[in-house]
A and B are shown apart, each in its own frame.
Chain A
Amino acid sequence: MLGVQNISRRTFLKSAGVTGALVLGANAATGSMIGTARGQSNGSSVKPNLFVQIADDGTVTITCSRSEMGQGVRTGIPMILADEMEADWQRVKIWQAPGDETKYDPAGKDAQNTDGSRSTRHHFDVMRELGAAGRYVLEQAAAKKWGVDASEVYAKDHRLYHTGTGQWFDFGEVVDAAADIAVPTGDAAPKLKDQSQWKYIGRDMPVVDSYDMSTGGATYGADISVPGMKIAVVARPPVYRGKAKSFDATEALKVQGVEQVIEIPALSDAMPAQFRALGGVAVIGTNTWSVMEGRDRLVIEWEDGPNVRHDSGTYNDELMASARAGGLVIRDRGNVDEALGSAAQVMEAEYFVPYFIHTPMEPPVALVDATQMPVKIVSSTQAPNETRQYVAEALGIEKSDVECQVTLLGGGFGRKSKPDFACEAAILSSKIGAPVRVQWTREDEIRHGYYHAASAHQLKAGLDASGNVTAWHHSGAWPSLVSLWNPVQRTGFPVEFGLGLIDTPYNQVPNLRIENGETDAMIRVGWYRSVNNIQHAFAMNCFANELAEAAGRDPVEFLLELIGEADVMDLTADGVEGHWNYGDAIEDWPIMPKRLSNVLRVVAEKSGYGKAMSPGHGLGIACHRSFHSYVGTAVHVVVREDGSLHIPQVDMAIDCGRYVNPEGVRKQMEGAAIYGHSVAMHGQITTTQGAVDQSNFHDYTVTRMDDAPLDVRVHIVEDFTHLRPCGVGEPGVPPYTPALVNAIYQATGKRIRRLPIGDQLESA
């Protein structure tokens, strides 16, 4: 239980610069009350979090401390607080918090980093507590004004009612009496509402930014300008960790609007890339077009460095060889070798997934003013506090001397939790003595990103004479994202294992071994929506489908048998130590095979699985647990004679435990199907002599409306809503591709084992 605090009006005005009357905060660091009355918090050394404010006109302003990138967090999280507080949503405003984890991370779990599909699951409890505290304070204040006992007062729909007389106050009318009221903790803490009294949690709510987003009024990273600001683009080394040997800016400087060309130093060889600036040559001027034109006229001689040997043609083959070799055993149950040796039938298949890049519609952008202290950042960042940290490092100052204002994000998908672009702006601002906005172009985003790891997978299984799976062996290899911190890292690490590999859900298989092979990272590797779950779900769901066929079994019944109905799957029984469970305790979010089987059954039923399909049609199914949620996906595909595809219908069943905004869940699933369709059909980054081959949407294609599934039906599973909230932003992506690939097999008899599908069906 967190301590929830009623902070005085003056303190809040001073600390947050927002007008208001009654403000509540929570403190996760101490877990206790820090002071309750006016002025007391001034004497405390601990800074409180600040989440709700009630003005004397009754307007309730709720703080959103998570970054909005389309996942609906500015709607969903405040809904929880408003519900518990009995606020009227029509009178709620959202205030976007700047980066300050000492104030705005009430759960104390993720320092405001908005990634890992964790906002709702980490904030559900604390937002309810903050809302309940708000309701408590208002009820006490009303009681004080009436001179009655608070037990005679209750809050409902933005009003405080007196049970005896039926009199009521609007929330705003008691603000003057509320400022000194203490919020008790422990057993005396304000009671949370019973679920039957929820008025917003579990109900459809449109996004709060809908009007702004439909009128051009929504503010993103490049939409804020400050006086004296300059705009910059940067020419970066084409090969990861390359350097500018020399450059000639003569022609660039002739472009009208270009003012300066200066170098951003390359990282020293001893410095891991992390989220630091890559280095390069910056063109700075008065408008975006001029500096882009100027950059085109730079003449730069690059020194490529050792990653020039990074050629996708050979690298991908090496990855597959590494997967075959395996080596690091991360989970081992029974005796796989013996079981394979005695199997009636041994099956083997290899799968490959290439590099992807995020391509959020808004390319990275940051504005930094390093001419004053504190340094000010304005950015569409997923991680405002890491942005502060890396900017501070780039400038050689303390993080506490850096502020970060968070705008809306024009998509994130993991790219914008890596603030290299803000470091560039900080370095340039400091060098030229003016605020600088660094604008990445689409070409920059595609060529100089943090790439979703390419990966190779070898799977083997043994079947007995009855078609039962007696052994399952999965060996995968990929460049690890740990290489950002430790460039010589050659294996994966627990986070990557935990992304749907070590927790392979085929719990009923008696002999099971999972291995990881070694490889070098020769490009920046970074997380991408649903991360390694993409390739893991692809390989295992497709291989299970191949096994079902070999066993002469229905694929869904076969999967249900592999997964089983156990309450929990205990990885420690298979010798797994230090399992990374999405950063959460396994007791709080266990791995529950029965929930995976459940979504599989639901999606099979809803999609009409099992019905006769016309020639050229297929209905494929896959399921996967990620970010604690369970998703089953059914894709209906039509493969035309020319090999082109049409997707008449997609069904998705999601069990995300306690959900908050079902409309938000549906939107995330619809979007995940489209995102998954891009992964399946299009996504592919390749390199030649270390440089990325693709540059814009003509050669890095993504799903458009004309190849998108336009009938995605989302089925929110209600059976486990008594359990904790689970992730929603990412879990819809992984099962889409294997469901499509399995559907294609049913339609055509062709197995796709290498992504993207691209034109593989046309050449068949």
Chain B
Amino acid sequence: MISMKINGVSRQFHGDPDMPLLWYVRDELGLTGSKFGCGAALCGACTMHVDGEAVRSCVTAVSEADGSEVTTIEGLDADGNHPVQRAWRAHNVPQCGYCQSGQIMSAAALLNENPDPSDEEIVDGMSGNICRCGTYQRIFSAVRTAAQEV
């Protein structure tokens, strides 16, 4: 049996330990904020935090998260008011919105690790997340704004 805390709630998983965290969270727990975009850690739409680090949950087996604290977009902040989320709204970032959960989780992890990133560090830190609507300019600005608050 695999145990983990997801957004602060203890969970026991009895299924195939190879199942990616994304599908456990989406299909079995019904937390649908984390998105499926590529299934191969290429786009970042599924980004979650495992023990505070950003992971691509589409390729992270549930077994790898055994004993960990997992945070999804739903658990980032109880009121949806994490500095990154506030900055996202202030910059009116989203277009279709689909990639934004993953973008926000990547940005939050980046700022957690490096509260004062340079422009280059923002670009490096965010280039694993694809946005096909092309909101990069606003994401970049929003991360800068959020960096001033964390």
| Stretch among A5-13, A357-365, A461-469 lining the B interface | A357-365
The 4 closest A-B CB pairs, nearest first, are A216-B33, A674-B134, A410-B98, A70-B96
Whether, in the assembled complex, A81 has its beta carbon less than 8 Å from a beta carbon of chain B, the answer is no
Cβ of A710 and Cβ of B140 under 8 Å apart? yes
Whether, in the assembled complex, A218 has its beta carbon less than 8 Å from a beta carbon of chain B, the answer is yes
Whether, in the assembled complex, A719 has its beta carbon less than 8 Å from a beta carbon of chain B, the answer is no
Q: Which residues of A contact B137 (CB under 8 A)?
A: 670, 708-712
- In the assembled complex, 24 residue pairs joining A and B whose CB atoms fall closer than 8 Å, in A order, are A70-B96, A206-B92, A213-B94, A214-B89, A216-B72, A216-B73, A220-B32, A287-B23, A288-B26, A289-B23, A359-B132, A361-B37, A361-B45, A410-B99, A442-B43, A667-B95, A671-B133, A671-B134, A671-B135, A704-B128, A705-B126, A709-B137, A710-B137, A712-B137
Q: Which residues of A contact B39 (CB under 8 A)?
A: 292, 441-443, 696
Interface positions of B from 52 to 67, Cβ below 8 Å from A? none
- B136's partner among A220, A257, A442, A710 (CB-CB below 8 A) is A710
Decide: A214 near B37, CB < 8 A? Known: A289-B20, A697-B42.
no
Whether, in the assembled complex, A722 has its beta carbon less than 8 Å from a beta carbon of chain B, the answer is no
Cβ of A210 and Cβ of B27 under 8 Å apart? no
Cβ of B92 and Cβ of A663 under 8 Å apart? yes
Distance in angstroms from A591 CB to nearest chain B CB is 28
Whether, in the assembled complex, B150 has its beta carbon less than 8 Å from a beta carbon of chain A, the answer is no
Q: How far is the CA of A211 from the CA of B36 in the complex (A)?
A: 20
Interface positions of A from 238 to 263, Cβ below 8 Å from B? 256-257
Question: Interface of chain A, helix or strand or loop or mixed?
Answer: loop
Whether, in the assembled complex, B127 has its beta carbon less than 8 Å from a beta carbon of chain A, the answer is yes
Q: How far is the CA of A215 from the CA of B79 in the complex (A)?
A: 9
Whether, in the assembled complex, B124 has its beta carbon less than 8 Å from a beta carbon of chain A, the answer is yes
Question: Interface of chain B, helix or strand or loop or mixed?
Answer: loop
Cβ of B96 and Cβ of A216 under 8 Å apart? no
Q: When each residue 29-46 of chain B gets 1 if its CB lies under 8 Å from chain A and 0 otherwise, what string results?
A: 011111111111011010
- A287's partner among B28, B43, B88, B94 (CB-CB below 8 A) is B28
In the complex, the chain B residue whose C-beta lies closest to that of A209 is: B97
Cβ of A216 and Cβ of B74 under 8 Å apart? yes
Report how many residues on chain B are interfacial, defined by Cβ distance under 8 Å: 58
Whether, in the assembled complex, B16 has its beta carbon less than 8 Å from a beta carbon of chain A, the answer is yes
Cβ of A222 and Cβ of B36 under 8 Å apart? yes
In the complex, the chain B residue whose C-beta lies closest to that of A733 is: B134
Given contacts A360-B132, A442-B37, A696-B40, 12 further A-B pairs with CB under 8 A are A214-B88, A214-B93, A217-B80, A287-B27, A288-B27, A289-B16, A361-B131, A362-B96, A363-B36, A674-B131, A698-B42, A710-B136
Chain A residues in contact with chain B, CB under 8 A?
68-72, 206-207, 209-220, 222-223, 225, 231, 256-257, 286-290, 292, 359-363, 408-413, 439, 441-443, 663, 667, 670-675, 678, 696-698, 702-706, 708-712
Distance in angstroms from A413 CB to nearest chain B CB is 7
Q: How far is the CA of A211 from the CA of B85 in the complex (A)?
A: 8
Cβ of B40 and Cβ of A706 under 8 Å apart? no
Interface positions of B from 66 to 121, Cβ below 8 Å from A? 72-74, 76, 80, 85, 88-89, 92-101, 104
Count chain B CB atoms within 10 A of each CB in A362, A408, A675 and give the residue with the most: A362
Q: How far is the CA of A289 from the CA of B98 in the complex (A)?
A: 20
Cβ of B89 and Cβ of A206 under 8 Å apart? yes
Q: How far is the CA of A210 from the CA of B104 in the complex (A)?
A: 13
Whether, in the assembled complex, B139 has its beta carbon less than 8 Å from a beta carbon of chain A, the answer is yes
Cβ of A215 and Cβ of B73 under 8 Å apart? yes
Cβ of A70 and Cβ of B95 under 8 Å apart? yes
In the complex, the chain A residue whose C-beta lies closest to that of B73 is: A216
Distance in angstroms from B72 CB to nearest chain A CB is 7
Cβ of A705 and Cβ of B28 under 8 Å apart? no
Cβ of A216 and Cβ of B34 under 8 Å apart? yes
Q: How far is the CA of A371 from the CA of B88 in the complex (A)?
A: 42
Cβ of A70 and Cβ of B104 under 8 Å apart? no
Q: How far is the CA of A207 from the CA of B138 in the complex (A)?
A: 14
Count chain B CB atoms within 10 A of each CB in A212, A286, A439, A442 and give the residue with the most: A442
Cβ of B37 and Cβ of A362 under 8 Å apart? yes
Distance in angstroms from B82 CB to nearest chain A CB is 9
Q: Which residues of B contact A223 (CB under 8 A)?
A: 32
- A705's partner among B45, B72, B100, B127 (CB-CB below 8 A) is B127
- A672's partner among B30, B101, B128, B134 (CB-CB below 8 A) is B134
Q: Which residues of A contact B96 (CB under 8 A)?
A: 68-70, 360-362, 408-412
Count chain B CB atoms within 10 A of each CB in A211, A409, A439 and give the residue with the most: A211
Q: How far is the CA of A410 from the CA of B26 in the complex (A)?
A: 16
Q: Which residues of B contact A710 (CB under 8 A)?
A: 123, 136-137, 140
Cβ of B97 and Cβ of A213 under 8 Å apart? yes
Q: Which residues of B contact A214 (CB under 8 A)?
A: 80, 85, 88-89, 93-94, 100, 104
Q: Which residues of B contact A288 (CB under 8 A)?
A: 23, 26-27, 36
Whether, in the assembled complex, B130 has its beta carbon less than 8 Å from a beta carbon of chain A, the answer is yes
Cβ of A289 and Cβ of B32 under 8 Å apart? no
Cβ of B136 and Cβ of A361 under 8 Å apart? no
- A207's partner among B19, B27, B92, B139 (CB-CB below 8 A) is B92
Distance in angstroms from B24 CB to nearest chain A CB is 8
Distance in angstroms from B99 CB to nearest chain A CB is 5
- A361's partner among B28, B89, B99 (CB-CB below 8 A) is B99
Distance in angstroms from B8 CB to nearest chain A CB is 15
Q: Which residues of B contact A213 (CB under 8 A)?
A: 94, 97, 100
In the complex, the chain B residue whose C-beta lies closest to that of A287 is: B27
Q: Which residues of A contact B127 (CB under 8 A)?
A: 704-706
Distance in angstroms from A679 CB to nearest chain B CB is 11
Cβ of A675 and Cβ of B136 under 8 Å apart? no
Q: Which residues of A contact B97 (CB under 8 A)?
A: 70, 209, 212-213, 218, 408, 410
Distance in angstroms from B88 CB to nearest chain A CB is 5
Distance in angstroms from B128 CB to nearest chain A CB is 8
Cβ of B133 and Cβ of A70 under 8 Å apart? yes
Distance in angstroms from B110 CB to nearest chain A CB is 12
In the complex, the chain B residue whose C-beta lies closest to that of A225 is: B30
Q: How far is the CA of A443 from the CA of B39 in the complex (A)?
A: 9
Cβ of B89 and Cβ of A210 under 8 Å apart? yes
Distance in angstroms from A405 CB to nearest chain B CB is 16
Cβ of B27 and Cβ of A209 under 8 Å apart? no
Q: How far is the CA of A408 from the CA of B88 in the complex (A)?
A: 19
Q: How far is the CA of A709 from the CA of B39 in the complex (A)?
A: 27
